[in-house]
Amino acid sequence: MTKNEVFDNLRQILFAVIMAFIMIESVVATYKIPSGSMEDTLLVGDFITANKFVYGARLTFLDYRLPAISYPQQGDIVIFIPPHTPMKYIKRCIAVGGDTLEIINKNVYVNGEEYKLPKTGKYLDRVIKPRGIRGENSFDNFGPYVIPKDMFFMMGDNRDNSYDSRAWGPVAKESILGKAMIIHWSWSDDAYPSPEITMTDPLSVPRVFVYNAVHFFDKVRWSRLFTVLN
């Protein structure tokens, strides 16, 4: 192989790596669901693919954000950074800038119309939390509240077990990262919890590997794979 051929091959490989990096940065991303705040739409151990491009992806290596095709709409499942922490959250967009939101005895109303809980959502607490003695909001009785311009009100589908905009307020459009599209993998530790990995036990890692291999078909939630989110 000549030097020119080697150079051409290296250039093609480098180009492919750069294009793959740009695609990961600007088009799609994957996220693992760490908590039950979106049950039963999303379960702990679900891995989702998100569309970053539609809301205007951040190109971190250039410190630049691509123009958005659209912004979150009511009902979208959105990945974002909330105002109180740099961690990434995933919730459902309930209302957008200019909307008036009110929660009355757990029932959510947007611009006077009831926004019903999705079929895969749930309430776990039958007790309705009243307002405070001075009329302060509670999670079950909230507002009316007008969503500020270019802001989005997010709530979990597991309404009684979700730390969301009812606590820390709406999310700015600059903090929106992507739209959840599909569950591409789902792994459960409920029925067959994996052994603990410890620094003091060098065999704990291969033990977990073997255990998960043995119970692989039991731990994968096969029915959830490739589920389109809506």
Q: Inform me whether the pLDDT recorded for 225 exceeds 90.
A: yes
Residue 53 has pLDDT above 80, yes or no: yes
For position 197, what pLDDT does the model report? 85
Model pTM score: 0.85
Mean pLDDT over the full length of the chain: 89
pLDDT score for 110: 98
pLDDT at 207 over 60: yes
Strands 89-96 and 77-80: antiparallel
In this predicted structure, the answer to whether residue 54 has a pLDDT above a threshold of 70 is yes
37 among known catalytic residues: yes
Query: What are the start-end ranges of the E strands in 85-163?
Result: 89-96, 100-104, 107-110, 113-114, 142-146, 151-155
Which has the closest alpha carbon to 229: 123, 136, 119?
119
**CB atoms closer than 10 angstroms to residue 23:** 12
Q: Which of 3, 26, 32, 37 is labelled catalytic?
A: 37
* Arithmetic mean of pLDDT, 40-61: 87
d(CA 105, CA 10): 63
Question: What is the rounded CA–CA span in Å between residue 158 and residue 75?
Answer: 14
Which amino acid appears at position 15 of this protein?
A: F
Report whether 117 contacts 123 (CB < 8 A): yes
Distances (CA, A) of 28 to 13, 38, 58, 97: 21, 21, 11, 26
Contacts for 229 with CB less than 8 Å, ≥ 6 apart: 41, 42, 48, 77, 180, 181, 182, 183
φ, ψ for residue 80, nearest 5 deg: -160, 170
- Given a cut of 60, whether residue 21 has pLDDT beyond it is no
Of 52, 91, 179, 219, which is the active-site residue? 91
Q: Above 60 in pLDDT, residue 120?
A: yes
Which tokens sit at 104? 């009355």
- What domains appear along the chain, each with residue ranges and CATH number? 28-186 (2.10.109.10), 188-230 (no CATH)
**For this structure, is 116 an active site residue?**
no
**Contact present, 181 and 48 (Cβ < 8 Å):** yes
